[in-house]
Structures are given as C-alpha cells and as structure tokens.
Structure 1
C-alpha cells in the first residue's frame, strides 16, 4: 500500500517537474521575432528553427542599434565638420560658452579624461576576463558534446560489428534463428545512423570551434586596439599632436561601434546559454520531446525495442540450444564437470536483459571453451585420463570457440547498447554540462556583456569630450580679444580699443609676475 503510494507520488512529482520545466522554457523563449513581423515567437526551444534563432539573436538589438547609430552619428559629424570648413570657414572663429568653459577649466578637463581612461583600462581588463571565461566554458561544452557523440558512434559500431560477427558465425555453421531475420535491416539503420552522427558531430564541432575562436579573437583584438588608441590619444593631447589625436579619435569611434555590437552579441549568447541549459535539464526528464536530439540522436532512429528485443531473443534461443546440447552430451558421456550455461535473458515475449539472474561464478556462454579444454583429450595428449571422457570425436573445439566468442562479444557490449538506446549515454553527457559548465558559462557571458556595455558608454563620453576639446582648440581659445569680448558680451556693454589695451596689459603683467 505504502509502496504504491510512493510510486504514484514519485510519478506525479516527475510529471509536475516536467510540465513546470516546459512551461518555464516556453515562456522564456517567447520573444520578438523580426522574421515574423515582430510578432512573438511561440515555438519553444528549437535549434532547428530559424525563427528561434532570429528571435534569440534579436535580444541583443540594443547593442546593434546603438552601434549603428553611433557609426551613423560619426559619419554625420565628419560630414558636418568638412562642410563647415569648406563653406563656413569665416565663422569658425566664433567663441562659444563651451570654449570658454574648456579654457577656464582645462585642468579639470584633463583630470576627467584621465579618470575616464582609467575606467576604460579597468573595463577592458574585465571584458577580456569575461570573454576568456565564457569561451573556455563554451569550448568545454563543445568537447563534452563531441566526446559524447563519438562515444555514441563507437557504441553503435561495436553493436553492429558484434551482431554481424554473430550472424556470420551462425551462417557458417548452419545455425538459424528467427530473431536474426529482423537484424539485417536494424544493422543497416545503425550503420547509417553512426555515419550521420559522426558527420554531424564533426561538422557542428568544426563550426562551433571556428565561431568560438573567431569571436574570442576579434573581441580581444578590438578591446586591445581600443585601449592602445586611448592611451595614444591621452599622450598626444597635451603634446598638441593634432593629426595623431584626430586619427585616434576616428579609430576609437569605429572601435566603439564594434564594442556596442559585441555587447549585443554577448547579451544574445547569455540568453542562448540560459535556454540551452534549461533545455538540457529538460532533456533528462523527457528526451523524446526535446529538439536536442538533433545534436546527438539517441532514440529517434535508434529503435531500442527492435535492437534489444531481437538480439536478446537470438541469444536466448542460442543459450537454450547450447544447454539442450549439454544435456545430450551429459546423457551420452556422463560428464559431471560440464555445467549448464546461465541465461541472462528472460523468456518470451520480452527477452529482457537480466544479468542479475546469473550469480557470481555461474557459467556463461563465453566460458564454454575453457570448460571444454578441461574435457577434451586432445589438450592433454591422450593417455589413461582420457579413457572415460573422450569428447574429441563429438566436439569441434574451433567451431565452439568461434561461435561462443561471437556471442560473448554481443553480451559484453549489451550494457553499452542499453545505455545508448535508453538515452542514458547522452543524458550523462548533458548532465555533466548542466552540473559543471552552465553556471560559469552564463557568468562569463554576463561579465562580458556588462563590461562591454560599460566600456562602450565610457568610450562615448571620452570621445565626446575629446571632440569638444579638439573643436575648441581649433577656434584658438587663447585669443585674448575673443576671450575678453566673450566675457563682456554677457553684460551687453561696449569696450573701446583703449580699454581693451589696458585689460590686455594687466593680463600680460599678471602672467609675467612670479
């Protein structure tokens, strides 16, 4: 009574957990899809659907839009600057309030630029750290998936090799079983599936490796070049290296646009990593309803019931036949040392593998050659010991050894076969990702996009300040006549040439006096 209650409770809990997981994943992936008229994507986590990819990539739209606007703004600014220099050259000498502010608080401007540069250095270091952490974990995930796929492929080839060997041996010695008739098509399906998994794994892993390495390289390169350009700008500014500073500003402007775009990309990767980790967790509950099977198939084409049932039925019949022959031999030769073979498969119609049915020390079909070695006189060179148990004429030792070893090979790989067709092999690989890689993977992605957002914002402030300072310097803020007239313009008063000369003389004396 209690056992039935516990089983029902466990089943209800598993069902509730599964439904909750699917509900969370479905809700999480409900995003704006630019390929579907900006409507909400409702297809759930499906890595084979282009609408899932478009809606997930679109989550980084803030970075993409800002990057585009920043680049367009730079182009407009350069165009405006060139136009003003060509067509409005005479108005370039106008002295504004902002020019006066920059001249009056030049030291504060320099200090602010230094502080912003320090922040850029810190943000760049954090960005590189987050990028390296994210990509190292992404590579670890790739290696786990790749090794799981290779293990699945190797298991399939072991299965088909053992089955084919057993079939060939059966044909060689004119033994037939109805179970073997169904295995030919199964072997073909398994071989084609192994080739497909291997090709798909190699292709996907190659693309993933290329993508991971490329993104990591361009992110670190952009970050490093941007930092070098900022430091060069900071050095060239006080040295009045106008051309160098102008080139640095233009270069940093383009790099800042790239940094905004990288921010959007890493934000998308954070969302995708979260989706994938939740899907991997869901896969362990219900692999049949998960699109992750497209990465490493475990039960879509690998018909576990056909493989396990037919192979189990064939070996079950063979062992029963062997035991029947042993009974005949024992009846004719009275050999007490010849034990019956333990059958690890249940009877029809299930033919389930039950290794616990064979206790430790029980004779297996693979032990038959060793047993026969103790009983056949050909191994002992004849003599009085062979008189009562001479089975040499009744047993073809080579035939038995070949036949039993082929069957034992199938039994040896049967646990691996069960792990494959029951998805335990793939579940174990995905569980390793969920347990050891998901948290640091997402932490690295969040660190990268947060640092990139901060770095891009600070670069925007620094470049705006540098442009303002450069524009103010181009209008000669040290011109005393412009400065004084600017100061007196706020009172709407007129100043004569004599008053200006007197103010200029006072200003010169103040500068010269120690």
Structure 2
C-alpha cells in the first residue's frame, strides 16, 4: 500500500476526532451529599441532557427502600426512553447498568467512528493508488517539518500514556486486592466468631456440675440455635471463599491485559516513528492497518474503564450514605447484609439465658453443697468438706436478663478458677466416691466441672457485644465506613488513572498513525525531487 493520495483527507478526519477525544477525558465527578444541583457527568456532547435533580420530597424519587447515591446516579437511561434513572446504586437493576453505561457512549462512538471512518479512508487511498496514475510528486518542506515535530510529540505522549496506564493499573490492582482482602477478612471474622459462639453453646449443653445439668427445654433450644448458626456460618464461609477466588482471578486477568495493551501500543508507536523516519514505506503501511484495529479496541477499553470508574464512585457514595441509614433495606444487603434482627436478638437472648443458668448452676453447687455442713453419711452431699466457704460466681445478668453489678465477695469469670483453687481439698476414694482428706470445700473433680462451666459462661458472655453489633448493624456499618474512608479514595483515583492513560495512549497512537502516512509521503516525495533535481543538473554531451 502506498500513501501517496488523500493525505489531507486522512489528516482532516483525524482532526475531526480531536474534540471528541479531548471531551472524553473529562470524567464524571460525583457531587457531595447536600449539593443543590447535580454536576455534569463529563462529556460536553451530553451537557444538553443535564436537568435538575429531584428534591428529597419529590414523590417520584420516593421508594419503599432507601435509594443510595440518588444524586450521583441521576443519569439518562437509554432503556427507558432516555428518561432519568432514579433507582440509585443497584447492581441488580439493569436500568442502573444501562444508565451508567450511557456515560461511556462517547468513547464507544469514537471507537466506531474511527473504525468505520478511517477504514473508508484507507480504502479510498488504496483505490486511488490502484486507479490513479499521478505523476506529480509535490513536496512541502513545512509539511515535512511540522509532521516530524508532531510525530515526536505524539510518540512522547504515547510514552506518557503508557507510563500512566502501567502505574495506574498496578495501583488499582493493589488497591482492589486490599479492599477485597479487607471485606473477606471481615466476613471471615464474622464466621470465626459465630463458629466459636456456636461451639460455646454446644459445650454449654453438655456442662454439668456434680450431676446437675441445664434444664431439658434449654438444651433443646440450644440444639436448634446451634444448628442455625452453624448452617449460616458455613454458607457464609463457602460463599466468601468462592467469591474471593473468582474476583482475584478477574483482577489478575485485567491487570495482565492492561500491561499487554500498554506494551503493545507503546511498541506500535515506537516502531511507527522509527519506520517513518527511515522511510520504510511497506512496514509503515502494515503498522497503520494494525493501529487502525488496535486504536478502535483501546477506545472501547477506555469506555469500559470509564464505566468501572463510575460504578466504583457510585458504590463508594452508596456505602457512605448507607452508614447513616444502616437498618434501611438497600442493595448493599447483597454485599454484606446485616444479620436479621430477630435472629440476632434470639442469639443474644439465648446466650444470656444460658450464661445466667450456668452461673446459677455453679452457685447452687457452691452454696447448697460445697459450703453447706452436712452430717456424715449423707453422700454424695457430704464428702467431708470443711474450711472457709468458697465465694460464689458473679452472675452478670438479672433474672430479666438485664445487666447486673457484682456484689462484694463474688468472683468474676477471670479470677474464679484461681480463687476456687485455694478451696480445693485432697481426696481419697471411699465407697465409690471422692472424700476430702484435707481442709477444703471443693473436690478436684467438682473444681474441674465448675471451671469448665465458668469458661463456657465466659465465652458466651464474651460474644455478647459481638452479637449486639450484628443486631444493630454496628459491625457492618464500621466495615462500610472504613471502606469509604480508607479504600474508596484510592479506587477512585487509580481507576481514573487507568482511564486517562488509556485515552492518552489511544489518542496518541490514533494521530500518530495519520502522521506516519503524512511524513512517509513527504519523505518519499523529497527523495524523488532530489533525484529529479540531480538529473536536471547533469550537463548535456553534444
């Protein structure tokens, strides 16, 4: 292919795309909460569609659920006759995806226009070369110098775009991985605490002190709750692990693809510059065709990352708003839902009841058996116990399950085993039972049973605040607040860097491919004119 024809047509076509390319660099900026007017989505070509955002009292904006990021997501929905989308951030709503995808339409339009328009230009050049027998080879020194300067600048721009893209994808990958790991860690923490709480419940069911156990109805309730908690924890753990592996796989694939795109486009820009400088016409022709296809693909990729950038921004605004409305039903329930209030309340209530009864069980043994003075022969109540009375265990709850303050002389969960150890006597086996042979109120076997019951009660009491956080969504609210403040700024910035890098790289290669042809043509014409001028200066031999 020889680019001797229509250089001005090619240059004009590329320059027509310049305003669109510049306009596409303007990213959508999210308005902060409380602004009176929605900021523009970016893209000057779409500004005529911008309208006022409905106020909070607008009936059309009201919904049975709390609408997240309502202002930011107030975009045109091509699936609904280009009416404004009012459903807020909702990854399960196809209209949300249609509206956010519409913000990337200018880039998709550029890709289509470039592919079709430049393809037609290349076809016309081929036809002109094959059909037209042009003998004139005009040469413009100004065009030669200007095209060379622009080639240098565009190659530098391609290098800059490649560096921005490479740096942005590395930071974006690191930031998204950290965000994912944080969410997975929070989910695993929830699973771990639920499993430990469930294990404590199972242990409490089988706890007995000196042949005294929990009531049968309480044991049945523990069995039911134990099954519920184990099922929920297992399902959450399995789903979290599966999603984590899938998302990490996608992130790795995206990262490698961006690196490959960056390297290929940079290599293409460099080779095109070198080949055009050395006047390798045939190789320049091949690179122009390759650039024609790759530029269209990278502009599509630009649109996709603009979409990702907007979705990430929407999600961050949604999380920030959800923190103020944790109990409202929102689409964030699909990511990390609050525990059902009834289930959480049941778990807390059952935990308090079991703790209360276990402490009472231990205290019944201490007060009614260990500290009581029975006449000899009343086995198993009498085992020759003597000495100072053992202190009772402090019950953290009243009979109505409200919090209780420990009384003087009671021991708490942390010090009970150490204090009771001083009241343990040495025993001997007499008549099939243990009998104290030294001063003490508690036999070693009863001590171990009391300690086991205390440890289980302490475990159930320890997980009370965790269950309370699940019940009032404090745990989830803190998770989303941390994501919004710590992870979202990086995700927003680095996704923007990827988009900007792709746009710069794509635009640089797009215009470079045009000037490859212009400079190669001028170089060929300059060489031809020099040869022609040399022949004219040869003296005639008469």
TM-score between the two structures when normalised by the length of structure 2: 0.74
Match of 2:423 in 1: 375
User: For 1:183-240, what per-residue CA distance to the aligned partner results, in whole angstroms no more than 9, with x for missing partners?
Assistant: 4333222222212222221222222212222222212211111111111111111322
- 1:352 deviates by 4.5
Match of 2:333 in 1: 293
- 1:469 deviates by 4.2
CA contact (8 A) 1:256 1:456 kept: yes
User: For 1:462-483, what per-residue CA distance to the aligned partner results, in whole angstroms no more than 9, with x for missing partners?
Assistant: 2222234456678x576669xx
User: For 1:278-300, what per-residue CA distance to the aligned partner results, in whole angstroms no more than 9, with x for missing partners?
Assistant: 22222322233232232223323
Match of 1:340 in 2: 392
CA contact (8 A) 1:124 1:227 kept: yes
Match of 2:346 in 1: 306
CA contact (8 A) 1:219 1:262 kept: no
Pairing 1:105-124 to 2, within 5 Å after superposition: 105-124=143-162
- 1:390 deviates by 5.4
Q: 1:49 aligned to 2:93?
A: yes
Q: Which residue of 314, 318, 321 maps to 2:358?
A: 318
Pairing 1:423-442 to 2, within 5 Å after superposition: 423-442=473-492
Give the paired residue count.
457
Pairing 1:17-36 to 2, within 5 Å after superposition: 25-36=69-80
CA contact (8 A) 2:265 2:509 kept: no
The alpha-carbon distance between structure 1 residues 480 and 390, as it changes in their structure 2 partners (threshold 3 A), is closer
CA contact (8 A) 2:111 2:300 kept: yes
* Cα root mean square deviation, aligned: 3.7
Q: 1:137 aligned to 2:195?
A: no
- 1:133 deviates by 2.0
CA contact (8 A) 2:391 2:420 kept: no
| Bigger mean CA offset, 396-405 vs 437-446 | 396-405
- 1:307 deviates by 0.4
Q: 1:91 aligned to 2:104?
A: no
Please list every run of 5 or more consecutive structure 1 residues that lacks an aligned counterpart in the other structure.
1-18, 482-503
Match of 1:396 in 2: 446
Q: Distance in 2 between matches of 1:353 and 1:262?
A: 59
Q: 1:364 aligned to 2:415?
A: no
Q: Distance in 2 between matches of 1:272 and 1:161?
A: 40
Match of 2:268 in 1: 229
Please list every run of 5 or more consecutive structure 2 residues that lacks an aligned counterpart in the other structure.
1-55, 58-65, 374-384, 431-435
- 1:66 deviates by 1.6
The alpha-carbon distance between structure 1 residues 400 and 105, as it changes in their structure 2 partners (threshold 3 A), is closer
Q: Greater helix share, 1 or 2? A: 1
The alpha-carbon distance between structure 1 residues 156 and 432, as it changes in their structure 2 partners (threshold 3 A), is same
User: For 1:412-459, what per-residue CA distance to the aligned partner results, in whole angstroms no more than 9, with x for missing partners?
Assistant: 333333334443333333332222221122111222222322332232
CA contact (8 A) 2:197 2:459 kept: no
TM-score between the two structures when normalised by the length of structure 1: 0.77
| Bigger mean CA offset, 166-175 vs 181-190 | 166-175
The alpha-carbon distance between structure 1 residues 308 and 285, as it changes in their structure 2 partners (threshold 3 A), is same
CA contact (8 A) 1:312 1:353 kept: no
Q: 1:453 aligned to 2:493?
A: no
CA contact (8 A) 2:214 2:357 kept: no
